[in-house]
Amino acid sequence: MQNQIRADFDGETIVVYQAFSAQIALPSVAAKRFVAPFSLHRMTWIKPSFLWLMERSDWGLKSGQEHILAVRITRAGWEEALSLGILTHPEPKLYPDSDAWRTRFEEATVHIQWDPERSLRGAKLERSIQVGISRHLIERYVDEWITDIIDLTPRVRKMHDLLKRGQTEQAKRLLPAEHVYRLKNEIARRIGVTEIA
């Protein structure tokens, strides 16, 4: 499978998705940044693939993941995170010495994981990235990188209802527009992107 970053982005920002309970989501949406009870003391995972999160959260039906948030962050912050990332598994082509990988992984402030991308109906596609921001970097994510937070839950509910009724084309029209996100070759190779310009 190819490792490819696809995302909703513009010249300055990129959208990543997270799912939370109402207790975390609602005050954070109101503040346009994450606020208590969001924790600054544990890793938080961000994903640029909307459908990957729909699969993981069961369209916002899993307990504690009822609100789907679109978090717009700076591309500078996103690319800084990727440049610090270490894969969660010792890919032999990137880390021929597994002990050296383990040491780097334990010290890393960002973890990178590749999982199957999903279709609208949940079928596995090319691999999509998720990025774990550790507690050592999370304050920068919250205070410097985030430019907006939008609650997509009503849209997600509508899409899920359309899919349950077999109205796939109508649901498809509500998908966020995601395109291939190109990185500098140095960063792309570091995190295992397989499509490098």
Query: Is residue 195 included in any domain, yes or no?
Result: no
Query: Is residue 141 included in any domain, yes or no?
Result: yes
Query: Is residue 33 included in any domain, yes or no?
Result: yes
Average per-residue pLDDT in the chain?
Answer: 95
Query: Is residue 1 included in any domain, yes or no?
Result: no
Query: Is residue 197 included in any domain, yes or no?
Result: no
For 174, the domain range is 6-190
Query: Is residue 196 included in any domain, yes or no?
Result: no
Name the pLDDT band for 1 (thresholds 50, 70, 90): low
- Is 151 in a helix, a strand, or coil? strand
Amino acid making up residue 135: R
Residues 176, 81, 49, CA angle at the centre, nearest 5°? 20
Total domains present in the chain: 1
Q: What is the pLDDT of residues 14-38, one digit of tens each?
A: 999 999 999 999 999 999 999 999 9
Q: To which residue do tokens 């995170």 refer?
A: 81
Q: What is the pLDDT of residues 64-86, one digit of tens each?
A: 999 999 999 999 999 999 999 99
Reported pTM = 0.95
Query: Is residue 42 included in any domain, yes or no?
Result: yes
Q: To which residue do tokens 């792309």 refer?
A: 188
Q: What is the pLDDT of residues 59-69, one digit of tens each?
A: 999 999 999 99
Q: What is the pLDDT of residues 110-139, one digit of tens each?
A: 999 999 999 999 999 989 999 999 999 999
- Using a 10 angstrom Cβ sphere, with 0-12 exposed, 13-18 middle and 19 or more buried, the burial of residue 126 is middle
Residue 56 pLDDT: 95
How far apart are the C-alpha atoms of 137 and 76, rounded to whole Å?
Answer: 14
- pLDDT of residue 197 exceeding 80, the answer is no
Residue 77 pLDDT: 98
Query: Is residue 78 included in any domain, yes or no?
Result: yes
